[in-house]
Amino acid sequence: MKSSLLAILLLLLIPFPAMPAKKLDTGTRKPTVACPMAYWRSDSIVNVHFVRDTFTPEQRQALLDAMVYSEETARKMGLAVTFNYAGETDGLIDCQSCLTVTRQDTYQNHRRGPVTLNALRRNNSGQLISAWIGIDRTRNTSVGLSGLVLEALRGVRGTKALSICKK
């Protein structure tokens, strides 16, 4: 008994080399950090929905103007993503080439900031099929809202990212 206890203790003291875990290939490719434009297909017509009773008409127009500006910037770089206003909805919509804009509660120390772009569904190459933008409820000026939407879209297709990802 003492010898088996001694053998067990010795085995515990012998260092074993750490073997790295093998990565599993899931067969789906996610967008790389270096190429965030991969989120939308370059020729997408994205239907934009606003959640009902979350924005005033002036705020909604400012958000749409920001999307038009984003389209023009992308077009200058050879990309043809178009945003089409598709009306109001009662909640998030998950359909082909849809973007829902809504409000969310964002806390002061929230790591993602006052606006987030969130995928609802992606295709096999990692590009967005459907997504939503959540804007902090405390941001109410039209200028501030349009800046936040541009920030969210820039995270998807910023100027630097567009030049890197252009094919």
Band of pLDDT at residue 100, cut at 50, 70 and 90: very high
What is the value of pTM for the model shown?
0.65
139 vs 34: which has the higher pLDDT: 139
The pLDDT value recorded for residue 98 is 92
Q: Is residue 69 situated within a structural domain?
A: yes
Q: Is residue 98 situated within a structural domain?
A: yes
Going by the DSSP 8-state scheme, the letter that residue 95 receives in this structure is S
Q: Is residue 148 situated within a structural domain?
A: yes
Q: Is residue 144 situated within a structural domain?
A: yes
Residue-number span of the structural domain to which 54 is assigned? 43-165
Band of pLDDT at residue 89, cut at 50, 70 and 90: very high
Pairwise CA distance, residues 28 & 116, whole Å: 23
CATH code at position 51: 3.30.379
Q: Is residue 10 situated within a structural domain?
A: no
What are the C-alpha distances in Å from 78 to residues 22, 33, 66, 128, 163?
Answer: 40, 20, 19, 19, 9
Q: Is residue 19 situated within a structural domain?
A: no
The number of folded domains in the chain is 1
Residues sharing a CB contact under 8 Å with residue 4, sequence separation 6 or more, in sequence order: none
Mean pLDDT, all residues of the chain: 71
Q: DSSP H helical segments within the chain, as ranges?
A: 2-13, 57-76, 142-157, 159-165
Q: Is residue 117 situated within a structural domain?
A: yes
Tokens 């967005």 correspond to 128
Q: Which amino acid is at 110?
A: H
